Amino acid sequence: MKTGVIGLGAMGSGMALNLHKAGHLHGVWNRTRSKAAAIAGKTGAILYESPADLAPDCELILLCVSRDADVLEMVEQVAATAGSGSIVVDTSTVSSNTAVLAAEKLAKTGVAFLDCPVSGGVEGARKGTLAMMAGGDPAVLARAEGALMSIAANITLVGTTGSGQACKAVNQIMCAGVNQAVTEALAFGEAMGLDMHKVVDVVAKGAAGNWFLDHRGKTMLADDNDTGFKLNLHHKDLTICKAMMGGLDNVTLPLVDTTLRQYEQLMEQGYGDEDISALYRLKRPAPVD
């Protein structure tokens, strides 16, 4: 399926390369042209001048951008030129309302839309092992699934348009909880004077084992927070979670509230571009003089 990728950051570039390996990648565009040029050079894909230029040449258009406004801007350009019957798949993390607005705008020109946020981190994007949470028409997903299987090991249709983003919000809240639990527990272990590399090894094999501990445990101990999911983006996602609740009175998110405050503290200190494991900076014991 002739696929164009719009947005080639850490996640989008990995997805584009896997689409190329499976024979689907046709063209690319990125706001920072050098990133798109690098992918085009590696794959032979066409480097387009704008999303509007890319859209009419592709059957499937995959978006991977950062924020709600970015998604709607890209959809505006794509809707102006995409052929009727083409499909836009948004893998960004935005609000359910934004997904519905995007679908409505594209439907006016006969273009289908799926909100398909993903989880699995930069590693999953590189390996093609992402988990994809889809919202939209089952028949549309069936048409796109062959190409999407090259970037995701698990694709689940959660419900109608917007459901994928609501499911991703669940995922992001869980990630906040896991981050809080792992960083707090490791800080306790370090305060006890334990050999923390041994602690990570043994705990990872027991009931408390989890992806975050496996992939970030030892890097955070080494104060290496360069690889992974940027803290400022998780802050953005958790803000979306709060907004999606709207006027609901029967659910509270105290863990999200705490995490947002702590992330804001780290962002003020200049750590917003680090992995979310940078939360350990606030919890680890202060060095003894």
Catalytic residues: 168
CB-based contacts of 2, cutoff 8 Å, min separation 6: 24, 26, 57, 58, 59, 60
Q: What are the structure tokens assigned to 261, written together?
A: 């405050």
Q: Which of 47, 45, 52 is nearest to 82 (CA)?
A: 52
| Cα–Cα dist 64/226, whole Å | 21
| Cα–Cα dist 251/119, whole Å | 24
SS3 for 56-80 is HHCCEEEECCCCHHHHHHHHHHHHH
| Cα–Cα dist 108/218, whole Å | 50
Helix (H) / strand (E) containing 115: strand 112-115
| Cα–Cα dist 275/220, whole Å | 9
Q: Which of 100, 102, 51 is nearest to 77 (CA)?
A: 51
Q: How many CA atoms lie within 13 A of 70 on its CB side?
A: 14
Direct distance between the N- and C-terminal alpha carbons of the chain, in angstroms, rounded to an integer = 61
